[in-house]
Structure 1
């Protein structure tokens, strides 16, 4: 009972560690009950409490008013942030599951010898846990390099704001993607779901990603100077620490004390947020004012 409670709390809080042993949940790779319960807790804990409140409020309104307008209209009643967070979460899960399934389909060291249902279940679990939580039902040291690189990207994105997950957050990533799409189309404003997103939010999203990337590059650079390990493994460890995921390619125990301290710093920075650290360290003088000068142009790209 205690082990079950520990894992449930760890999953919901996206902590990603358990009290079973060094092999995490690998013994339960084919157990649908454990896989689905743990992934459900991870998703609910990482999607953000504002999404919870919004969905709950709308469901209560539908029940109270006996609304029979259908799920599509009920979905449109949700806030824009809620819809974006849900869409991004579902999209990342579906894409991640399909990518891992395709890449590792014939890999005998991961899921190559599983049945079709077992392959889908394992791929789904790894996709969910590798974004935010850090549990494992397979040995990540045995997967293909592309799978590690893909998971580095999903860990970097992480969960949604206001939840227990880490990373730059799904909505932050979505805003930058929407900005790129708007630039490609030649549009002046960034729009989503028939709403225009303020430029201030776009700037903050870019700053968050840039700050996150700078801390990551600094951490990986130190690890490369200290350790004689493959770059992909060091990058995987650094992103896992910064995004507070908690997974490893069985490398963390072999690292030097300096590298472990670097990982601890990255975990601390990732938990409170890179942008929070920069704001807390900055000293803005009361005499400082926003100044506007004559416009100029600079070549980029």
Structure 2
């Protein structure tokens, strides 16, 4: 087949447009970050490091090879903030918002892309949801920025406090994990500070619930009911945060490198924050490298699950984990149907949850094996870094700054795949499927 024929046959499906769109934004961001004006010293950031940083910002991850607070100038930090905002909300969401401001019509194809980008089951009400996305994002980020600025005005000049408040509100709400405090220390200065902890956790959880859930919660006083999706997201999110806080508190209580040096109140806040941040936020208030191996592995599991569909976070998503648990319980009880909150789930939903989980697991395993051959570090450190990249979390045990060039490329690809989702990426790369004209006879295979 000739090249022209292949191009004519190639279709710009929504998944392919999303992949290309994110790739273009990353490259534009990388080129801007290589400019001398982007660094505080006036030196050019190497292209590979700029590409890694732009990927981390656009994929709202937070893994960094240079310290954000000291290396980048105000211009460079502004570029990162824009990449985080665009990456968190999605470039199609931002494009649609501009189109709505200019009163342009949203075409059917654009609605299909938005449906894919927002992970919605149908196009119905998709444009209304985009409007709500803008309102909710600006409102929550604005409140977070104000509270941060007030708190930090006691520690720094008012102008700097406002700048830090706005910048970190964008980073936290979009679950990016970038910070400006320097020396790769994130929020460790405020491990036992109730205000910083509450504001940061509020932003992280709000961004990680998903905009459909936020819309449902905003309309709850009037409708007096929640959708099945919202119930599943809220219940699993609350369960994971509560269990995570208890486990971390128990495992790290006497660890002098983490919770051991804090009083009971500080232990509570630090445990709760470290349970929330694997929702793919990436900020931390205690030294991640100082955690016990059991806690580090537990956080790997939380990062793998991640946030919720249609949110600013990554991972396999809380709803996927909920469906898998539901399917397991149904099998144990000998039930044919998976039932959640008195609703039966379609078989297609269960197949999708299993497929997404297997794709994600395969990606993490392959990348961990690859990095184990290129990086001379402990296996758990490599697994932690890969899972953090896949879940677009940004938590690190300190491996990222020491990555080889090949390691940076592999982690960048993992972040990219994690932000778009393995299934979306697979749909984008697959050829157009041919319609099957027949079905094979049913067979049986022994399981277990």
- Normalising by the residue count of structure 1, what TM-score does the alignment of the two structures yield? 0.93
1:14 to 2:175 alignment: yes
State the distance in 2 between where 1:197 and 1:140 align: 38
1:28 matches 2:176: no
State the Cα distance separating 1:131 from its structure 2 match.
2.3
- In 1, the alpha carbon distance for the partners of 2:369 and 2:256 equals 33
Conserved 8 A contact 2:208-2:279: no
Aligned residues: 286
Cα offset for 1:105? 0.7
Residue of structure 1 in register with 2:96 after alignment:
none
What are the within-5 Å matches in structure 2 for residues 1-301 of structure 1? 1-21=162-182, 22-61=184-223, 74=224, 77-286=225-434, 288-289=435-436, 291-301=438-448
Query: SS of the counterpart of 2:424?
Result: helix
Q: Deviations over 1:19-72 (max 9, x none)?
A: 1111111111111101110000000000011011111112134xxxxxxxxxxx
1:49 and 1:285 mapped to 2: Cα distance? Answer: 32
The 2-side partners of 1:248 and 1:134 are apart by: 8
What are structure 1's unaligned runs of at least 5 residues?
A: 62-73
Q: Which runs of 5+ in 2 are unaligned?
A: 1-161
Q: What is the alpha-carbon distance in structure 2 between the residues aligned to residue 255 and residue 290 of structure 1?
A: 50
In structure 1, what is the equivalent of residue 32 of structure 2? none
Task: Find the aligned partners of 2:438 and 2:391 in 1 and give their Cα distance.
Answer: 36
Take 2:416 and 2:211, find their aligned partners in 1: how far apart are those partners?
22
* Deviates most, 52-61 or 255-264: 52-61
Q: 1:185-225, CA deviations, whole angstroms, 9 ceiling, x for partnerless residues? A: 01011111111000000000000001111111111111011
Shift of 1:126: 0.7
CA distance in 1, matches of 2:277, 2:421: 20
Which residue of the partner structure matches residue 68 of structure 1?
none
- 2:154 is aligned to none
* CA gap 1:18/1:152 in 2 versus in 1, 3 angstroms: same
Residue pair 1:131, 1:151 contacting (<8 A) in 2 also: no
* CA deviation map 1:260-291 (0-9, x unaligned): 110000001101111011111111344x3163
Is the CA contact (8 Å cut-off) linking 2:189 and 2:285 kept in structure 1? yes
1:50 counterpart SS class: helix
Confirm or deny: 8 A CA contact 1:3 1:20 kept in the other structure. Answer: no
The match for 1:71 is none
With over 3 angstroms needed to count, the CA separation of the structure-2 counterparts of 1:200 and 1:285, relative to structure 1, is closer
Structure 1: how far apart are the matches of 2:243 and 2:254?
19
Deviations 1:136-189 (A, max 9, x none): 111111110000000000000000101101100000011011000000001011
Q: Using the alignment, how far apart are the partners of 2:417 and 2:442 within structure 1?
A: 36
CA displacement at 1:16 relative to structure 2: 0.9
Q: TM-score, normalised by structure 2?
A: 0.63
Structure 1: 4+ residue segments shifted above 4 A = none
2-side partners of 1:151 and 1:172: how far apart? 18
What is the CA RMSD across the aligned residues, in angstroms?
1.1
Alignment-derived partner of residue 108 in structure 2: none
Distance apart, 1:240 and its partner CA:
0.4
